[in-house]
Structure 1
């Protein structure tokens, strides 16, 4: 895409940074923001990952790599989903990068100076919920289960509980308050301890989140108590799980549509007035009256449908896990990255819909058989896999690592929602996946499994490829060793199967290696060995098979179909080889003169078994050359 296109699209592209995408509430909010953006003529670019990022680890550092690809200058605004990315330094860095290019920053549920902060009004809703239990249902002995001790959300909700009790002239009893750490296990232990004291029995248990509330309901029912008849139970946050629970939980949930509307309103305001001052804007929570407080009738007849829904989801999840497992098992065999890449069309359609692109960096491609274009830039990326209009291709196209440039014009025009996900294994970053998203809400949990499996496959095969390279390559020069030479020759012969073939072969010896080692040291001998290897690679060209058989012995080979073989290649090879050596001698100015003896043949070849005989012919020619070199040098000395 041209720079002019950037200018035209800047005003309608919203960037979103989010983590923990597999969380149902986060996924739902992303979809709600997208819908509101689409209705108002905006496009969404989501840079997402799955880690909490609450503290740096090798894995979270790899996840965070996705935020390095944000085209800040091309965005109408940058949205930071602060409570999903629990990494303050990263959020500050993203904020500063955006503000530096005058892109407004909007934070959601996270206060940051210099930004438009959309604040979720947890507190007033939680107070209303406590009042609903105490004043609306006239409960006189309420207990409170907080989250983590010292956590701001937990302590804020505990303060709200105390305040409402005091407003109603009720005592705040320390033994009625405990910390359940927002999770099942601690909540169960606390609830079981409370129920042991039958003389001080709660008529309501107000929980700081839904997970603890659902656990409390389970413990009560296990002990023979009924909710809400014996004990009212309430939660908070409105998680997805509550729809499958009986009785349906009374809780509080944020108005996601209001968040999306606020975001669009801020962007439109900053477009009209780029100098608009950042400020705080609250978004309300709503009480969802359920059955656990007695506001709704308990419908036990729906339990069968709930169980069927859960069972169906479990079956789908199990089938997905099995598919992932088989994909990993089948695709981690061998060492050829290209063979593995060609098999991805088998699995990608099962995991995602819409067009997609997979980009990998130069470092990932090194030591694999992925062919990098000549002169590949260090900071560029390779378009490795592309699905376009349902068709999968392997473009192997070098591209600048710029997020908008890498979206095809057609995709950008057609889709109002594109998603970037990191492709990495721990801190080793391979690249990322660009996915076109439609109106249907994505299954991010399924996507997380796929991305982890894909990274595992690529990482395993990459390591196997590196080991294979060590197995077939000479460590000093990087040329093939004897094993690698014969293997690559056999592969090239198979490629030309059924065709008449022509072979060029050069047997090459480095002249006077022993003298160089004895006079100047083995380190200088290594320099000469590597120099001849480089000369050989340059002379043979990109299609050459070059090998070091040991010591000062080298072989170079080229193979063509008969009609494609250049008949003057012998002269071309010798000219390139000697030119490179002469240049090296003139540039390096060593105390010794680098030289090589060559024996060359160019003949027809029918099968792989002829290689040894042809190699002997080349060797014989090389030894004749070596004798001539010795004679010439002897006459020079005389």
Structure 2
């Protein structure tokens, strides 16, 4: 809990990666939205790529988790499936427990943590039953994910189970592996089309990405969905909204997810221990691709228009970032750079650097740490104003943190680094209802390059100035030489 002389705030920390993706964004937004409603402040620590590969760049990304001040957290939520590196997730959890902070693990299981798990199998079985028992399909093909993958194998077993219970013989040729994405799905569809077996009445897919690819390939072949063949998906990804026909699929109810997590946290704050497990079920969404709902041309038009506006917004922001890069090259002072940065980032944002950022040597205290004990505000923007230069303790995360929390409910912290050399971090206020994390990602990626270039220019200018100074001094006496008097 954050406690000062005049304020007290309940704090939820969230550690994740790839918040710009549909899946992670929806979960983070749900938790943030419900948390804010119940009076919590949310601190999100995010990397914009997963940390699966053990490379220098990812070491720099992971530095953001070293920033966490566990002393002000009431609970920490970790998303290991998004981070994709168990050693990092386990280290975060270990540090939290050392500080007495309870941990909630979403979509995975970790030792000594409350695990939030999703019940996939029951709902997937309902989709298969809907196709076979409600629509009466007897020739049902299945496109699975990666062979041997736990989720994929569970869905294959559900498919086989429902076939058997309805007296339908399993035919191996009606099963293919699309590896959860579109290109392998194309190969599977071609095998189905070339098979000597009678063409299927339905194609059940283990996720939406493969179902969308299947619909597209079938359309190219002149085969209509759902008139000629039923297609179903699973996962409820955002792209499904723009597919025609809309998929019969299943998705987690993120409102329920956020509500269950915040309810558990509320109970914990009132003295009830966190449960070992919180289960969230997927919900089946019956739609157009099985024929239960008619395709409305107006809906298709609305979605196309919405997609156009999103693409237009993305293109506009990309042009804005090009301008940011161009203007940054002309900056020679921190003040000039901060001014350009303030006009290019989010409305309320901070860029904080290690205090040794522009020095020629790394401070000794940072030999084994990502950050110096104090940080310097390179740029802070607020109410169409900006400032630079303020130094504050790193454990405070931001200068005037009490005032910041009083004004903002949700803050995201992202790493600034060049490969594994940590520059500092960026922070911004975000809305739990609507926020373009993709735009923030572009800004951060550009800022990483800009800050490294700015540092190198500063060092080069200092080196040139020192070289010029040396050339104007007599090496024996240290006084100005003839060249110096000539220049003056």
Distance 1:53 1:610 in 2: 56
1:288: which partner in 2? 285
Contact 1:356 1:388 in 2 (8 A): yes
User: How has the CA–CA distance of structure 1 residues 286 and 6 changed in structure 2, closer, same or farther, with 3 Å as cutoff?
Assistant: farther
2:485: which partner in 1? 612
Work out which of the residue numbers 35, 38, 45 in structure 2 matches 1:37.
35
Structure 2 residue 8 is the aligned partner of structure 1 residue 9: yes
How far the C-alpha of 1:555 sits from its partner, in A, is 4.8
2:265: which partner in 1? 267
Work out which of the residue numbers 434, 448, 452 in structure 2 matches 1:441.
434
Q: Which segment is superposed worse, 120-129 or 145-154?
A: 145-154
Q: TM-score, normalised by structure 1?
A: 0.70
Structure 2 residue 412 is the aligned partner of structure 1 residue 419: yes
SS of 1:119 mapped into structure 2: strand
1:359: which partner in 2? 352
Distance 2:162 2:477 in 1: 89
1:215: which partner in 2? 213
SS of 1:360 mapped into structure 2: strand
Distance 1:90 1:555 in 2: 57
Q: Which has the higher contact order (CA 8 A, sep 6+)?
A: 2
User: How has the CA–CA distance of structure 1 residues 319 and 198 changed in structure 2, closer, same or farther, with 3 Å as cutoff?
Assistant: farther
Contact 1:146 1:179 in 2 (8 A): yes
The runs of 5 or more residues in structure 2 that have no matched partner are 362-370
Q: How does 1:366-445 map to 2 (within 5 A)?
A: 366-367=359-360, 378-394=372-388, 396-404=389-397, 406-438=399-431, 440-445=433-438
Cα RMSD of the aligned pairs, angstroms, is 2.7
Bigger-Rg structure (1/2) = 1
Q: How does 1:182-581 map to 2 (within 5 A)?
A: 182-197=180-195, 199-273=197-271, 276=273, 278-333=275-330, 336-348=333-345, 352-353=346-347, 355-367=348-360, 378-394=372-388, 396-404=389-397, 406-438=399-431, 440-472=433-465, 480-481=466-467, 483=468, 485=469, 549=473, 551-555=475-479
The runs of 5 or more residues in structure 1 that have no matched partner are 369-376, 473-479, 486-545, 557-598, 600-608, 616-638
Q: How does 1:75-114 map to 2 (within 5 A)?
A: 75-114=73-112
User: How has the CA–CA distance of structure 1 residues 405 and 444 changed in structure 2, closer, same or farther, with 3 Å as cutoff?
Assistant: closer
Contact 1:250 1:289 in 2 (8 A): yes
Distance 1:55 1:260 in 2: 30
Work out which of the residue numbers 115, 118, 121 in structure 2 matches 1:120.
118
User: How has the CA–CA distance of structure 1 residues 407 and 172 changed in structure 2, closer, same or farther, with 3 Å as cutoff?
Assistant: farther
User: How has the CA–CA distance of structure 1 residues 313 and 106 changed in structure 2, closer, same or farther, with 3 Å as cutoff?
Assistant: same
Contact 1:258 1:283 in 2 (8 A): yes
How far the C-alpha of 1:444 sits from its partner, in A, is 0.8
Contact 2:145 2:178 in 1 (8 A): yes
Distance 1:73 1:378 in 2: 18
Work out which of the residue numbers 131, 152, 158 in structure 2 matches 1:160.
158
How far the C-alpha of 1:175 sits from its partner, in A, is 1.6
Deviations 1:140-164 (A, max 9, x none): 1111111122222222222222222
Contact 2:116 2:280 in 1 (8 A): yes
Distance 1:418 1:548 in 2: 51
Q: TM-score, normalised by structure 2?
A: 0.91
How far the C-alpha of 1:408 sits from its partner, in A, is 3.0
Contact 2:163 2:169 in 1 (8 A): yes
Distance 2:205 2:5 in 1: 49
Contact 1:217 1:233 in 2 (8 A): yes
Number of residue equivalences: 479
User: How has the CA–CA distance of structure 1 residues 320 and 404 changed in structure 2, closer, same or farther, with 3 Å as cutoff?
Assistant: closer
Contact 1:232 1:292 in 2 (8 A): yes
Distance 1:547 1:278 in 2: 72
SS of 2:53 mapped into structure 1: coil
Deviations 1:122-147 (A, max 9, x none): 11111111111111111111111111
SS of 1:554 mapped into structure 2: coil
User: How has the CA–CA distance of structure 1 residues 68 and 378 changed in structure 2, closer, same or farther, with 3 Å as cutoff?
Assistant: closer
Contact 1:62 1:425 in 2 (8 A): yes
Contact 1:166 1:172 in 2 (8 A): yes
SS of 2:18 mapped into structure 1: coil
Deviations 1:109-131 (A, max 9, x none): 11111111111111111111111
1:576: which partner in 2? none
Contact 2:416 2:424 in 1 (8 A): yes
